[in-house]
């Protein structure tokens, strides 16, 4: 049960890692690399070469993302572009920045083909809406990735609205994206749950904005350990192991 206070009128969700597994990025990345090879008249890399590309891309992306988190707003397109260029050169593929928009579209389409809702998410969203609770997706994904995934998974039938960081011009954990989501929902922060899988983006952002934070470990397939000596901002109000537990949480 949610702690005493205002009743819950709104539930907002992170997207990747919360409503669907981020494993969807693997077919997205494979589609990107296949298109990159095609643009150069080359055969798509085999699985071993792709694994090398993926490791190089992740290694290049991680410090860029850590640096970007200090900014109120950034586009993943710019971070991905630099990481993909580094990774492509690492496996001997050429790179031209002029291809970036086309490759990002291929990536988004591939992610959409590989995406699936985590078990229980669809039914939980439908039950929340049927009970009169406003629901929404609030994600740091760029539109070119989030839109095809949302279309493939039927977000329009599951939630009342979708707000991307690109639309909000603000990225979690910064407050503006949460405030815009609350304005769309016409609900107060203290009567809103925010459900996400990342402490740094979702829990910290929701807590600082005054929402009630819910950490889900479902897509992580296990317990997410909080950092030693975690600050109050990093401690979720609730932790769940499956999305359908939300129904028990607010009943």
Which CATH number is 44's domain given?
1.10.150
Pair 192, 211: CB distance under 8 Å: yes
Answer with the one of 114, 130, 161 that is the final residue of a domain: 114
Pair 243, 120: CB distance under 8 Å: yes
Output the pLDDT for position 251: 79
Burial of 115 by CB count in 10 Å (0-12 exposed, 13-18 middle, 19+ buried)? Answer: buried
Q: Does a cis peptide bond (omega within 30 degrees of 0) precede residue 173?
A: yes
Q: Per the domain annotation, does 1 fall within a domain?
A: no
Output the pLDDT for position 230: 53
Q: Which residues pair with 216 in a beta bridge?
A: 240
User: Are residues 95 and 168 both part of a single domain?
Assistant: no
Q: Does a cis peptide bond (omega within 30 degrees of 0) precede residue 24?
A: no
Pair 246, 11: CB distance under 8 Å: yes
Output the pLDDT for position 211: 98
pLDDT tens for the 251 residues of the chain, in order: 455 578 999 999 999 999 999 889 999 999 999 999 999 999 888 999 999 999 999 999 999 998 998 899 999 999 999 999 999 998 888 899 999 999 999 999 999 999 999 999 999 999 999 999 999 999 999 999 999 999 999 999 999 999 999 999 999 999 999 999 999 999 999 999 999 999 999 999 999 999 999 999 987 644 445 444 557 788 999 999 999 999 998 87
User: Are residues 101 and 161 both part of a single domain?
Assistant: no
Cα dihedral 107, 108, 110, 114 sign: positive
Kindly give, in sequence order, each residue whose CB lies less than 8 Å from that of residue 126, ignoring residues fewer than 6 positions away: 157, 158
Kindly give, in sequence order, each residue whose CB lies less than 8 Å from that of residue 47, ignoring residues fewer than 6 positions away: none
Count other Cβ atoms within 10 Å, centred on residue 47: 8
User: Are residues 242 and 139 both part of a single domain?
Assistant: yes
Q: Per the domain annotation, does 5 fall within a domain?
A: no
At 213, is the secondary structure helix, strand, or coil?
strand
Output the pLDDT for position 223: 42
User: Are residues 156 and 171 both part of a single domain?
Assistant: yes
Distances (CA, A) of 160 to 18, 231, 248: 17, 33, 21
Number of Cα atoms under 13 Å in the Cβ half of residue 137: 29
Output the pLDDT for position 52: 93
CATH number at residue 143: 3.40.50.1000
- Structural domain span for residue 198: 10-21+115-250
Output the pLDDT for position 69: 87
Cα dihedral 142, 173, 211, 199 sign: positive
* Domain count across the chain: 2
């Amino acid at each position: 049960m949610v702690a005493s206070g205002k009743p819950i009128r709104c539930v907002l969700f992170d997207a990747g890692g919360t409503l669907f597994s981020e494993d969807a990025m693997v077919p997205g990345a494979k589609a990107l690399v296949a298109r990159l090879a095609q643009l150069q008249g080359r055969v798509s890399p085999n699985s071993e070469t792709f694994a090398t590309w993926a490791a190089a891309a992740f290694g290049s992306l991680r410090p860029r993302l850590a640096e970007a988190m200090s900014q109120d707003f950034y586009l993943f397109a710019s971070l991905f572009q630099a990481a993909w260029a580094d990774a492509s050169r690492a496996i001997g593929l050429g790179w031209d920045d002029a291809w970036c928009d086309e490759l990002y579209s291929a990536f988004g389409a591939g992610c959409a083909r590989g995406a699936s809702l985590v078990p229980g998410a669809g039914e939980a969203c439908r039950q929340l809406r049927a009970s009169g609770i406003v629901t929404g997706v609030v994600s740091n994904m760029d539109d070119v990735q989030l839109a095809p995934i949302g279309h493939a998974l039927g977000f329009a039938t599951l939630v009342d609205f979708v707000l991307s960081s690109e639309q909000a011009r603000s990225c979690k954990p910064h407050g503006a994206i949460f405030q815009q989501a609350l304005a769309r929902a016409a609900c107060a922060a203290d009567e809103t749950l925010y459900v996400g899988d990342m402490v740094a983006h979702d829990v910290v952002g929701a807590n600082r904005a005054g929402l009630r934070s819910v950490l889900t470990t479902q897509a992580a397939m296990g317990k997410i350990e909080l950092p030693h000596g975690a600050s109050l901002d990093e401690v979720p109000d609730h932790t769940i192991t499956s999305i359908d537990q939300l129904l028990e949480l607010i009943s």
